[in-house]
Amino acid sequence: MLWFISKLPFPIFYKVSDFVYFIVYRLIGYRKKVVRGNLKLAFPDKNEIEIRIIEKKFYHHLCDLFLEMIKSLSISKEEMQKRFKFKNIEVLKAYENQNKSVVLLCGHYASYEWLMSLGYQIRHNGYAVYQPINNKYFDRLVKKIRTRHGAFLISRYDTTKTILQKYREGELALYGLAIDQSPMPSRAKYWREFFGIEVPVFVGAEKIAKGLNCPVLFLDIQKIKRGYYETSFSVISEEPKDLPDYEITDRFTELLEAQIKKKPEYYLWTHKRFKHKDKAPKIN
Domain boundaries, the chain: 2-266
The pLDDT value recorded for residue 32 is 96
Q: What are φ and ψ of residue 15, in 5° steps? A: -70, -40
The pLDDT value recorded for residue 284 is 52
pLDDT tens track of the chain, all 284 residues? 888 999 999 999 999 999 999 999 999 999 999 999 999 999 999 999 999 999 999 999 999 999 999 998 899 999 999 999 999 999 999 999 999 999 999 999 999 888 888 988 999 999 988 888 888 887 787 777 777 777 788 888 888 899 999 988 999 999 999 999 888 888 888 999 999 999 999 999 999 999 999 999 999 999 999 999 999 999 999 999 999 999 999 999 999 999 999 999 999 999 988 999 888 787 65
Alpha-carbon distance of 36 to 25, in angstroms, equals 12
Alpha-carbon distance of 153 to 151, in angstroms, equals 7
Q: What are φ and ψ of residue 198, in 5° steps? A: -75, 120
Alpha-carbon distance of 115 to 84, in angstroms, equals 8
The pLDDT value recorded for residue 156 is 85
The predicted model scores a pTM of 0.92
> Strand 197-200 relative to strand 191-194: parallel, antiparallel, unpaired?
antiparallel
Residues in the chain: 284
3-state secondary structure 260-271: HHHCHHHECCCC
The pLDDT value recorded for residue 160 is 87
Alpha-carbon distance of 228 to 85, in angstroms, equals 8
The pLDDT value recorded for residue 208 is 92
